[in-house]
Chains A and B, each alone.
Chain A
């Protein structure tokens, strides 16, 4: 077993799973951070992204890699429209954000059911899968299926891009300002409206891309989104709501539990380890693993 632990094979799995969790959680975190809206339909956006890639590939003959930018754009436009159509009006008026925070759960829950059932109706519930880049590459002792390597590179690359954007771009800084101090950001002249629309666009777009990536790895159905919602919630809460960078660290931690934790104990302990860590982390670090300091 010790050999397996040090072999790099588990590390590869950890990084693949972790990068997917990080990308999925990223979008959830941005929307929560800027608007204090908990999007429980987030995993369903991942599911829709997976279908997008599947249909483009099987009907249109598009390479899933080429489909990713299309999914990103489609997701972003959908996010923007959802924001404009559903949420912007509700966010206006006194005390509206606070009121909406509670209502948003119900609203997103409704959206989640809507997405699942629309998908079940139009795409049927048959699980879908396709083959893409499934040759195995060996690098020393580590065997890597090409699509898993691709997922790792694209997902972690996108996460890195978003972090850089938040750190060094004016718009990114404005987004962070809204996450940290909404009113203060408004006072110093941040266009909160635009930032909110942007976070919806990036949030939905990244979920769609994550879906496209996931579709290369596993079969999916209209009900495949929910586990991603759960995973993203765990990641986001572990890292601290609205703390994007810490969320990525938490995603890796979650992935380590899935692989190393399971290797050291037994697969049946997966949930115990996962939620045990979750509860423990909430007790010890109620503001998230890296606290709020990281962002100040």
Chain B
């Protein structure tokens, strides 16, 4: 008797046969696994990374596939939703390794997720080039199977931001920070550095992520009239700060907004008023970095918006490192690990080399909006333009 179940099975078997048949002629695709937030509170934050992944896959497949030790193989993603939960990411990376048996792994989104999966990678001796993670806690991870491309680690940023202030003759600052982990960590390193440099903290406040109005905080800052305002924000409150600082004419010549300004919405919301705002970032499209302008253009073409100078570029850089390592070492995990750990890689962010878990070449840097574009303004030598004072909000 033909039941619906047997019919379905027959159809599925037929479908499988067809799909297997169609691949039999070409080289097997390389299966690359990852878990990322596709639902839950981090879905917006993880989006620029996801977009960089998709773009890279499309580009590599258009070039005929990924160079695996000399053979070109098409890329296939095996991706899961970690539901914005690190413990879920742990389970999924375990599953990707043991049950899906993927050929390569790429990074999840966010610091806690990288930290959570590190022991799994260690256990299975599976190398992963990390992308969007930044915390001093990364250095506590056992070096070996995970590396981080970012140079925006809070303690170094605190030191560099202080230097930037000193160089621009800042004697007093107002500091506000979102209480979420990254900005809080940034803050704990920033205050001592500022004091060391003899910079007075005139006003100081912390605010919750669901802040709706900053009038009270900003009125205080306006009265204190500091030389610099350091707003350690997350994307959600970055434009709120800028809009209300504009309304109240908070006119400090140096204004720093930590996370948010590199995302496309910020420039759309602020327009010309964004000019002069300094933010975190160590990437921009520039001639010196081969492929950076092409990446920027391809991203804009595919998604009709600018890449996030922070997260999209970090994700893309991590893929470039992996791609070059695989071209040399193939898919053997030990060889791959040794290559990533020892080699120097050419990326859209210039040369990258790891020492332990960290990228040792890219310096901790800052971007500034100048004439509507983000320019690297810090540190000198790495920068593409000089720091400009913010001249009002018009």
Which residues of A pack against B, CB within 8 Å? 1, 3-4, 7, 9-10, 13, 17, 120, 124-131, 134, 136, 143-145, 148, 217-219, 221, 223, 227, 258-260, 262-263, 266-268, 270-271
Contacts and interface: CB of A to CB of B under 8 A. Distances in A.
A296 B271 CA distance: 51
B144 interface: no
A10 to B, nearest CB: 6
25 contacts: A9-B219, A9-B248, A13-B215, A120-B43, A126-B265, A126-B303, A129-B265, A129-B266, A129-B268, A129-B269, A131-B268, A143-B248, A143-B249, A217-B243, A218-B239, A221-B44, A223-B44, A258-B212, A259-B216, A262-B213, A266-B206, A267-B205, A267-B211, A267-B216, A268-B206
B220 interface: yes
Contact of A267 (B217, B248, B271): B217
Given A259-B213, A270-B210, 14 more contacts: A10-B215, A120-B43, A129-B239, A129-B265, A131-B269, A131-B271, A143-B249, A223-B44, A258-B212, A260-B216, A267-B207, A267-B217, A268-B208, A271-B210
A254 to B, nearest CB: 10
Contacts of A7: 219
A134 B244 CA distance: 11
B258 interface: no
Interface string B259-289: 0000111101111010000000000000000
Given A129-B239, A136-B249, A223 B43 contact: yes
Contact of B223 (A4, A13, A217, A260): A4
A293 B214 CA distance: 37
Contacts of A4: 216, 219-220, 223
Contact of A145 (B211, B217, B247): B247
Given A136-B246, A218-B240, A223-B44, A267 B268 contact: no
Which of B44, B205, B211, B271: most chain A CB closer than 10 A? B44
A241 to B, nearest CB: 24
Contacts of B214: 267
B305 interface: yes
Interface of B: 43-44, 47, 179, 205-208, 210-217, 219-220, 223, 235, 239-240, 243, 246-249, 263-266, 268-271, 273, 303, 305, 393
A47 B268 CA distance: 18
SS of B interface (majority):
helix
Contact of B247 (A3, A124, A148): A148
Contacts of B217: 267
Contacts of A148: 247
Contacts of B243: 134, 145, 217-218
Contacts of A128: 265, 268
A127 B249 contact: no
A144 B271 contact: no
Contacts of A143: 247-249
For A1, A7, A13, A260, the residue with the greatest tally of chain B CB atoms inside 10 Å of its CB is: A13
A84 to B, nearest CB: 32
B142 to A, nearest CB: 34
Contact of A268 (B179, B268, B271): B179
Which one of B43, B212, B246 has the greatest number of beta carbons of chain A within 10 Å? B212
A229 B143 CA distance: 46
Contacts of A125: 43-44, 47
Contacts of B265: 126-129, 219
B215 A270 contact: no
- B44, B207, B213, B248, most chain A CB atoms within 10 A: B213
Contacts of A271: 208, 210
Contact of A270 (B208, B249, B303): B208
B308 to A, nearest CB: 10
A212 to B, nearest CB: 16
A134 B212 CA distance: 18
B268 A130 contact: yes
A152 to B, nearest CB: 13
Contact of A127 (B210, B213, B263): B263
Nearest to B176: A267
B234 to A, nearest CB: 12
Nearest to B43: A125
Contacts of A124: 47
A117 to B, nearest CB: 9
A13 B213 contact: yes
